[in-house]
Structure 1
Amino acid sequence: MSDSEQQQLDAALDLLRRTDPRNVASNLALICRMNQPIAEELLSTVDQPLQVNTDLDNNKKYLCCDYNRDGDSYRSPHSNKYFPAIDDPIEISDKIRQLEVTLNAAFDTYRELYFEGGLSSCYLWDQEDGDNFAGVVLLQKVMKQSQWDSIHVLEVESVSGKEYSYKLSSTVILDIGHNSTKLGGSLTRQAEKKANVFEPQDHIANIGAFVEEMENRMRALLHEVYFGKTRDIIGDIRSIENLKEVRADEERKREIASGLGSRQAL
């Protein structure tokens, strides 16, 4: 990327940070149409609400993001095919594919228990060094006027012997709408931990526990930042007491203060 394109990318990212986060998808699409040379880098950098596609082989829905995208097509975790179909798609090894299938089944159970609905999709891909691999866990819950999207990007690297390092970068995109009150934004956190792996399936338990821990931590942060701050603001601008009674009470206080002032003058 040239210096000029880097400056344009920085300007686009700065602009997106200053606009309504609930409109990030439409604003991002507009910028990409206006500046094609930085579109690919912009799409891989900016987190946006998850899209939903349908696997035409089995009529199952799956979540889409930049990590399962190839051009304008998205790979399904159900059939391992791209929709729409493309020539010469990116392929993963049989070993990683088997792990991906198991990971999807595990998070499908997690999603049902914790989200009571919604949609989940997991994608893994090979890394160049030995048994190392990377992946992403996607979770989405859509309610009447609200949407929760979780994007957990992970890197798994062998440290020594049976010990592996798990690096996790998690982003939660929240969009809440209720009558005239609307909240929207995103929160990103990173973490790293190490764990032992004796069988390949141990990766599933390690990843699942790590993502669950991060989900709980970020849910608590969002509750404090969004709902706690909103409650404080509403509490400051809205009174539960009758306005006439408040004004009458203030008037009585002024009269008493004025009376006390007159007595002190005498």
Structure 2
Amino acid sequence: MADPFDAALDLLRRLPPSKTQQNLNGIISLRPDLEEDLLSAVDVALAVKRCSKTGRDYLCCDYNRDGNSYRSPWSNAFEPPIDPDDAADLIPGGRVRRMEENLNTAVDVYRELYYEGGTSSAYLWALDDGFAGVVLFKKSTNASASAGKGGWDSIHVFEVNEAAGKRSAHYRLTSTVILDLGLSSQSVDNLDLAGNLTRQTQADLSCGFRDSEVELQHVVNIGRTVEDMETRMRNMLQEVYFGKAKDVVGDLRSIQPLSEAEKDRAAHRDVLEKMQR
């Protein structure tokens, strides 16, 4: 008999990507014992919550979650509050919290420049030989007759290994982009395009020569790595995936009426025949 967790993942891969959250909730309702494993293994569109202490929006994911509570990067507190003993282990402090605050400030500027809206969040946690974190971006548009609907979710999970006595660190980044587009009009009827793309990269980067520079240099290195990865993934989506989808849809159904297309082909053949003569 197949393992229930593997079977659930296989089922989600075969169902429409645009309904991953709905299907995930259905599977969890049938098998509540798989909830933690599925939530940590399946990438879904990010949810937005508002910090009650600062009034700023932040993004929710498995990396800032404890049960049904989520930690705000702006107040560094869980909402709803969790047990103080658990909070001591889950809420970062010291240099990790300082870097988290600086990273949130940096990605907020990046979000405004590149997305011109949307929501961003960054979360860090300590490791034995360094630290790890996640940078999140989300932007969505409402459905309209002219522009349709669209949603972009970026999840960048990274790990930083700091070698003792060295002024460099090893950065490993795993990025996932979840895209959901839809259009409904008389010319194309109903069109849905959804899916996700995951890529990885790693590099050894300098962290500065003075201890006071290390924290800020980590933020700079993470920001540049995320920016480069997002640019590559966006170009890949636009040139490869959208280009291929456009070719396939164009072969299946033409927006131009067949009668007009046949006239264009006839005119094209007529020009070629005259050139040959």
TM-score bracket relative to the smaller structure: 0.7 to 0.9
1:243 to 2:259 alignment: yes
Describe the superposition over 1:74-111 as per-residue Cα deviations: whole angstroms up to 9, x where unpaired: 00000001111111322212210010000000000000
Identify the range of structure 1 (80-89 vs 241-250) with the bigger mean alpha-carbon deviation.
241-250
Q: Structure 2, unaligned stretches of length 5 or more?
A: 143-148, 185-189, 270-277
Q: Structure 1, unaligned stretches of length 5 or more?
A: 254-266
CA distance in 2, matches of 1:163, 1:249: 62
Number of the residue aligned with 2:95: 95
The change in CA–CA distance for 1:215 and 1:248 in structure 2 (over 3 A counts) is closer
CA contact (8 A) 2:133 2:157 kept: yes
CA contact (8 A) 2:120 2:135 kept: yes
Within 5 Å, which residues of 2 pair with 1:62-101?
A: 62-88=58-84, 89=87, 90-101=90-101
Number of the residue aligned with 1:141: 139
Please, which of 10, 29, 33 is the counterpart of residue 33 of structure 1? 29
Q: AA paired with 2:155?
A: I
Within 5 Å, which residues of 2 pair with 1:80-229?
A: 80-88=76-84, 89=87, 90-129=90-129, 132-144=130-142, 145-159=149-163, 161-179=166-184, 180-198=190-208, 199=213, 200-229=215-244
Q: With structure 2 as the length reference, what TM-score do the two structures score?
A: 0.83
Deviation of residue 191 (structure 1)?
A: 0.6
CA contact (8 A) 1:149 1:174 kept: yes
The change in CA–CA distance for 1:242 and 1:122 in structure 2 (over 3 A counts) is same
CA distance in 2, matches of 1:31, 1:15: 9
Identify the range of structure 1 (68-77 vs 239-248) with the bigger mean alpha-carbon deviation.
239-248
CA distance in 1, matches of 2:176, 2:225: 14
Within 5 Å, which residues of 2 pair with 1:2-81?
A: 7-81=3-77
Number of the residue aligned with 2:187: none
Greater C-alpha Rg: 1
CA distance in 2, matches of 1:30, 1:64: 20
Q: Percent identity?
A: 46
Corresponding residue SS for 1:79: coil
Deviation of residue 133 (structure 1)?
A: 0.1
Structure 1 ranges of 4+ moved more than 3 A = 239-242, 247-250
CA distance in 1, matches of 2:128, 2:204: 20
Number of the residue aligned with 2:275: none
Corresponding residue SS for 2:50: strand
CA distance in 1, matches of 2:223, 2:264: 60
CA distance in 2, matches of 1:147, 1:96: 31
